[in-house]
Amino acid sequence: MNIVVGITGGIAAYKAVNVIRGLVLAGHDVHVVATEAALRFVGRPTLEAISRNTVNTDLYEAVAEVRHVAIGQAADLIVIAPATANTIAKLATGLADDLLGNTVLASRAPLVIAPAMHTEMWQNPATVANIALLRSRGVHLVGPVSGQLTGTDSGVGRMAEPDDIVAHALAVASGASTRIRDLEGRRVLVTAGGTREPLDPVRFIGNRSSGRQGVALAEAARDRGAAVTLIAAHVEVPLPTEIDVIRVETTEQLLQATSAEAARSDLTIMAAAVADYRPVEVAEGKIKKIHAGERLTLELVQNPDILATISALPRDGRLIVGFAAETASDREALLELGRAKVARKGCDYLVVNEVGWTTGFATEGNAVTVLDASGAIVFEASGSKTSVADDILGVFAAALSGAQ
Ligand code: CTP
């Protein structure tokens, strides 16, 4: 394959050398397009020696060969690692003020980017919006991950490891971004949808959950090679194929099914929207309206907390993940709610759903932050529910294999 590796001006540029090396060793013809800024971080001779090809930087070199479009046209795959916030902004706008911008615009090849920047820049609404836009156009992201950044700080924004970038890029090029089989041999349990608590034979207390995110998680886990069981409460989307499905109605039924299945699952993801209360009594017959204008009082009793229940059991390397859709006045308040919840539930990870933030892009797709048991941010993802599901499964697959 003819692969273009774009390198932009961030300190992680030195790690791009290992990305190039991985692709060359996998038998590919690698052409480096580096920005001027990238060459301040890593030397041209290094890049030429490792890629075994001339490094291209200048828009006005080899003009007779129409190089500004030729490199992009010939590429089967473009990988930009690291992709700085500035480059991401340029890609989102379609700017072509350097050779890399021209190469990307002139290419129909899949584009994989590995963002690398400080946490504040990654979380800036401008970057968040640019990333959402790039995703909606089919650009593939690998990382960023959480970890040590340049200097003494750490957080989300660190470039994904070169081996992961190579694996992801090659999977994308083979038309199989979701065919990364990192859950092969694992059992994954996903709960989805909203539970319903009957009041009488014809009525129930329920919630608005569609089950879409849970179903997307089950499908993504299946595509990553896992044996998947989906416990579906009320779900408004078609149920996936090649997945064992257990249907439940009430929280009590969900508790029974989940307790049994979680004990034999490597990864349990509680994406179900669980009714916190149920009526003290369920009427045998339909509750009748007797007098005009009368009031009806329902007495409710709290349901068991399934996530807390299964998290309290010994789990021997198995992972348990909760979901929390919260509304809060700002991001910090939302994360505080998430941190309190992960501590209360005792699960390994909590996926905090950012829907409801006042960021403009929130309406374009789903955005989540993954907290670990200590409340630290380990991952952030945004985009369609399918891409978010796939991205966060990558985190849990890595955690299961002890890589994180
Ligand atoms: N959950 C559960 N059992 C319950 C309630 C919730 O297992 N009775 C799980 C959900 O499936 C989800 C996580 O706990 O994974 C968080 O759900 P949420 O409704 O946000 O938690 P609550 O404990 O109900 O907190 P809140 O007071 O914010 O509603």
Q: What is the pLDDT of residues 265-283, one digit of tens each?
A: 999 999 999 999 999 999 9
Q: Are 64 and 109 part of one and the same domain?
A: yes
Q: Where does residue 391 rank: exposed (0-12), middle (13-18), buried (19+ CB within 10 A)?
A: buried
**404 three-state secondary structure:** coil
Q: Are 176 and 297 part of one and the same domain?
A: no
Query: Residue 356: its pLDDT value, please?
Result: 55
Q: Are 242 and 275 part of one and the same domain?
A: yes
Distance 305 CA to ligand 1 centre (A): 7
Q: Are 155 and 193 part of one and the same domain?
A: no
H or E element, residue 382: strand 377-383
270 lines ligand 1 (CB under 6 A): yes
Nearest CA-CA partner of 81 in 141, 25, 122, 148: 141
254 lines ligand 1 (CB under 6 A): no
H or E element, residue 50: helix 44-51
322 lines ligand 1 (CB under 6 A): yes
352 lines ligand 1 (CB under 6 A): no
Q: Which residues contact 217 (CB under 8 A, 6 or more apart)?
A: 190, 192, 269, 271, 389, 392, 393
Q: Which of 191, 270, 309, 368 to mutate to test the pocket of ligand 1 (most atoms within 8 A of CB)?
A: 270
Q: Please give the number of the atom of ligand 1 that sits closest to the Cα of 310.
A: 7
Residues 199-236 pLDDT 10s: 999 999 999 888 989 999 999 999 899 999 999 999 99
Q: Which residues contact 341 (CB under 8 A, 6 or more apart)?
A: 322, 324, 326, 350
Q: Are 266 and 376 part of one and the same domain?
A: yes
Q: Which of 207, 303, 353, 366 is catalytic?
A: 207
Q: Print the domain residue range for 115.
A: 2-180
Q: Are 37 and 103 part of one and the same domain?
A: yes
> Which parts of 224-362 fold into alpha helices (H)?
251-262, 306-311, 331-345
Q: Are 167 and 273 part of one and the same domain?
A: no
Provide φ and ψ at 238, rounded to 5°: -60, 145
**CATH number of the domain residue 169 falls in:** 3.40.50.1950
310 lines ligand 1 (CB under 6 A): no
Q: Which of 250, 274, 349 to mutate to test the pocket of ligand 1 (most atoms within 8 A of CB)?
A: 274
Residue 254 banded pLDDT, cuts 50, 70, 90: very high
Q: Are 14 and 70 part of one and the same domain?
A: yes
Query: Residue 178: its pLDDT value, please?
Result: 45
Active site residue 102: no
Q: Are 165 and 203 part of one and the same domain?
A: no
Q: Are 66 and 100 part of one and the same domain?
A: yes
51 lines ligand 1 (CB under 6 A): no
Euclidean distance between CA atoms 90 and 112, whole angstroms: 15
Distance 395 CA to ligand 1 centre (A): 22
Nearest CA-CA partner of 144 in 129, 153, 156: 156
Distance 324 CA to ligand 1 centre (A): 7
Q: Which residues contact 27 (CB under 8 A, 6 or more apart)?
A: none
pTM above 0.75, yes or no: no
Take atom 12 of ligand 1 and give the residue whose Cα is closest. 323
* Segment among 75-89, 146-160, 282-296 with least mean pLDDT: 146-160
Q: Where does residue 290 rank: exposed (0-12), middle (13-18), buried (19+ CB within 10 A)?
A: exposed
Query: How many domains, in total, are found in the chain?
Result: 2
Take atom 17 of ligand 1 and give the residue whose Cα is closest. 324
Other Cβ atoms closer than 10 A to 138? 10
Question: Which one of 163, 180, 197 terminates a domain?
Answer: 180
